[in-house]
Amino acid sequence: MEGSILLIDKPAHMTSFGVVARIRRVLSERAGKKVKVGHTGTLDPFATGLMIIVTGKECKNAEKYSKLDKVYEATIRLGEESTTGDPEGEITHVSDQKPTRAEVEMVLGQLTGEITQRPPAFSAIKINGQRAYKLAREGKEVEMPTRQVHVYSTEVIHYRYPELKIRTHVSSGTYIRTLAADAGKILGTGAYCTQLRRTAIATWHVADARRLSDFGIND
């Protein structure tokens, strides 16, 4: 563990920091000394998929890996909104309107290219030194700054109202929960992510990743 990267397929209902802590514990036990371990970009607890874990001297390159483009597959529910943009938030009914596939694809086209996003308050972004999600959970009002991101492409894999499944290739810093919510606002239906999976980071693919069980860790 002088310095390497590990491709990990993160399970659902676990934080990215939890993944790092478990990997650190196992590698440190095997090495007989504390091994430095870090991540190169978080995934939401409800999300699954590819994480690049860095160890040892490779930790100094974490930021380089974090800036790479990513590919996600997301399942989106139309007609409702979530306070967190995912199943863990408070869900409210918005509309019974049923957009056609052509209407959905047109809106996704509007959200392609360089776009402005306002990340969700329930995110790991730091606001005045504190994680935004911690402030939001405390009931504090969080003003999230907008950011410019690039959505290279979004394709519809499946659509049968109210469920929409997409595959999207995006720049680093793009929030798929926000992409879903913005699409719902334009459609007038509301929308939130029910499932999210990161399938690729640059040329690395989740098919080549190891599961936590490969390290003797229970998912």
The residues carrying an active-site annotation are: 44
Nearest-angstrom CA–CA distance, 140 and 188? 28
Relative orientation angle of helices 101-110 and 176-187, to the nearest 10 degrees: 120
Dmax (CA) of the chain: 60
> Could you tell me the end-to-end alpha-carbon distance of the chain, in angstroms, rounded to an integer?
23
Amino acid (one-letter) located at 200: A
CA–CA gap between residue 137 and residue 148 (Å, rounded): 26
Contact 178, 157 (CB under 8 A): no
At a CB cut-off of 8 Å and minimum separation 6, what does 4 contact? 54, 55, 56, 58
| Pair 48, 196: CB distance under 8 Å | yes
Q: What is the CA radius of gyration of the chain?
A: 18
CA distance 67 to 128: 22
